[in-house]
Amino acid sequence: MAEDKQIRVTIAGANGRMGQEAVKMVQGDPGLLYVGPIDTRGTDEEVKARFAQLQPDVLVDFTTPQHVYRHLQLALQLGIRPVVGTTGLTAEQIAELTEQYKTAGLGGVIAPNFAIGAILCMKFAAMAAKYMPHVEIIELHHDRKLDAPSGTAIKTAEMIAASRNTLRQGHPDEEESIAGARGADYDGFRIHSVRLPGLVAHQEVLFGATGQTLSIRHDSISRESFMPGVNMAIKAVVNLEQLVYGLEHLLD
């Protein structure tokens, strides 16, 4: 894509908490052109007609787990590059979409978290897990969140599992007297999800070893924290020829 051409951006979920921040960010960048919102709660024909009217290069998605898979399929059919922040896609869906985008040679970004500090938290946790394999993840979010565990916690768990020798933690005879007390099991370690008003997006990764503990924590205290990452992904995706899962792949 020519360097001096503005990138045409549409946003799904433009009236939501993240969408409103994303509209402001896109409108504030002279390199980007906000062509308007897209709402896909209609027939395929209606939605395709709206896309044809907007002519976007990039579709930014901050909607719900229920709609995001269809959005990625639609973007593929229409040759529009997606930048997806919506969480809740399964590992199988991501693998299938990755193959489909590769075959089409179309760029896309799925990033469970766009905040640079959250990416560092994941990377540091993966580094630490190699040497301190006893680990638990606690993610904490506002109580309007639909999915649990968070996309960030799942991605963190995947990165930890890739660098940690598999180990089933805790006492072999441990039992829950209240179901769920020990959290969700991922590859032998636990993920705990906290939902409270007043929170935005937070994660703590705790490690334990003989006589010591290590905590790695990230806090997003406002949704502006995600915007530099969204901006970076929009500018990167126009030059990609495959679907990338995780902002860390755009950083190195």
Ligand X SMILES: O=C(O)C1=N[C@H](C(=O)O)C[C@H](O)C1
Binding site for ligand X (CB under 6 A): 87, 112-113, 141, 145, 150-152, 201
Query: Known binder of ligand: residue 18?
Result: yes
Query: Known binder of ligand: residue 152?
Result: yes
Query: Known binder of ligand: residue 165?
Result: no
- The CA distances from residue 35 to 3, 6, 68, in Å, are 19, 11, 20
Instruction: Write the DSSP string, 87-106.
Output: ----HHHHHHHHHHHHHHT-
Smallest gap, in angstroms, from Cβ of residue 43 to ligand NAI?
12
Take residue 156 and report the two structure tokens written for it: 């963190």
Q: Which CB sits closer to ligand X, 199 or 238? A: 199
How far apart are alpha carbons 190 and 200 in whole angstroms? 22
Q: Which CB sits closer to ligand NAI, 120 or 214? A: 120
Percent helix, strand and coil across the chain, each rounded to 5? Answer: 40, 25, 35
Q: Which residues are known catalytic residues?
A: 141, 145
Query: How far apart are the two ends of the chain, measured CA to CA in Å?
Result: 21
Smallest gap, in angstroms, from Cβ of residue 176 to ligand NAI?
27
Residue nearest to ligand NAI (CB): 16
Using CB distances below 5 to 8 A depending on partner kind, what does residue 141 bind out of ligand X, ligand NAI, none? Answer: ligand X
Query: Known binder of ligand: residue 104?
Result: no
Using CB distances below 5 to 8 A depending on partner kind, what does residue 13 bind out of ligand NAI, ligand X, none? Answer: ligand NAI
Helix, strand or coil, per DSSP, at residue 201: strand
Q: Which CB sits closer to ligand NAI, 65 or 188? A: 65
Phi and psi at 12, nearest 5°, equal -90, 125
Q: Which CB sits closer to ligand X, 40 or 86? A: 86
Query: Known binder of ligand: residue 15?
Result: yes
Buried-exposed string 161-190: b where 16+ CB fall within 10 A, e elsewhere: beebeeeebeeeeeeeeeeeeebbebebbb
Helix, strand or coil, per DSSP, at residue 184: strand
Q: Which residues bind ligand NAI (CB under 6 A)?
A: 12-13, 15-19, 39-41, 62-64, 67, 85-88, 111-114, 226
Smallest gap, in angstroms, from Cβ of residue 21 to ligand NAI?
8
**Annotated binding residues for NADP(+), as ranges?**
41
